[in-house]
Amino acid sequence: MPEPSYAVRQGGPDDVEAICAQRRAMYVDMGQEDAAALDEMTARFRPWVVQRLSDGTYLAWLIETNGRTVAGAGVWMKPVLPGLRGTRPEVPYVLNVYRAPDHRRRGLARLLMDAIVTWAKDHGHRVVELHASDEGRPLYDSMGFLATNEMRLTLG
């Protein structure tokens, strides 16, 4: 059977359900098994992403083959304080990187990340940030992403 051909495209408001489904599946892949928590997260995420897709503060890249969306990633334009990492008031923050199980190990995550990094460079950004899963870390390391010293305290 021949390898499928893949097409990368930017997503928009019409892609909200695919983006929400991929985000949910990503959490399931990372071990989240609480269906009620996943439902509640998706219900809160849907209006958040609709608003940001509409105002341009969330950008989506999707990969399709044979009329099916099989991978995707998003960029949230995260507001940042003025600092030394550039003059922009926001930093592209990559999130929701997902590939359908039957389309993994084919370079799709790299294809998405290359598109995002190219977009960021083309739009004058000097930094791209993300939170790496254990599975994604080797890809990001190979692309030159560096670990930072962020910490988190979970309250009650």
Domain boundaries, the chain: 7-142
Q: Which amino acid, one-letter code, is at 142?
A: S
Mean pLDDT of 22-32: 95
- Find the DSSP H helices in the chain: 16-29, 35-55, 108-122, 137-142
Q: In what order do the strands lie in the sheet with 129-130?
A: 7-11, 58-65, 68-79, 90-99, 129-130
pLDDT mean across residues, the chain = 94
How much is the pTM? Answer: 0.92
Q: Is the pLDDT of residue 112 over 80?
A: yes
Q: Are 97 and 109 in contact (CB under 8 A)?
A: yes
Q: Residue 89's pLDDT is what?
A: 92
Cα dihedral value 37, 134, 114, 56, nearest 10: 30
In CATH terms, the fold of domain 7-142 is: Aminopeptidase (3.40.630)
Q: Are 58 and 52 in contact (CB under 8 A)?
A: yes
How many other C-beta atoms are found inside a 10 Å radius of the C-beta of residue 108? 22
Nearest partner of 97 among 121, 114, 85, 80, judged by Cα: 114
Q: Residue 85's pLDDT is what?
A: 74
Residue 33 to residue 104: CA distance in whole angstroms: 21
Helix or strand or coil: residue 111? helix
Q: Residue 2's pLDDT is what?
A: 62
Residue 21 to residue 135: CA distance in whole angstroms: 19
Q: Residue 10's pLDDT is what?
A: 96
Q: Are 116 and 60 in contact (CB under 8 A)?
A: no
Q: What is the DSSP letter of 89?
A: S
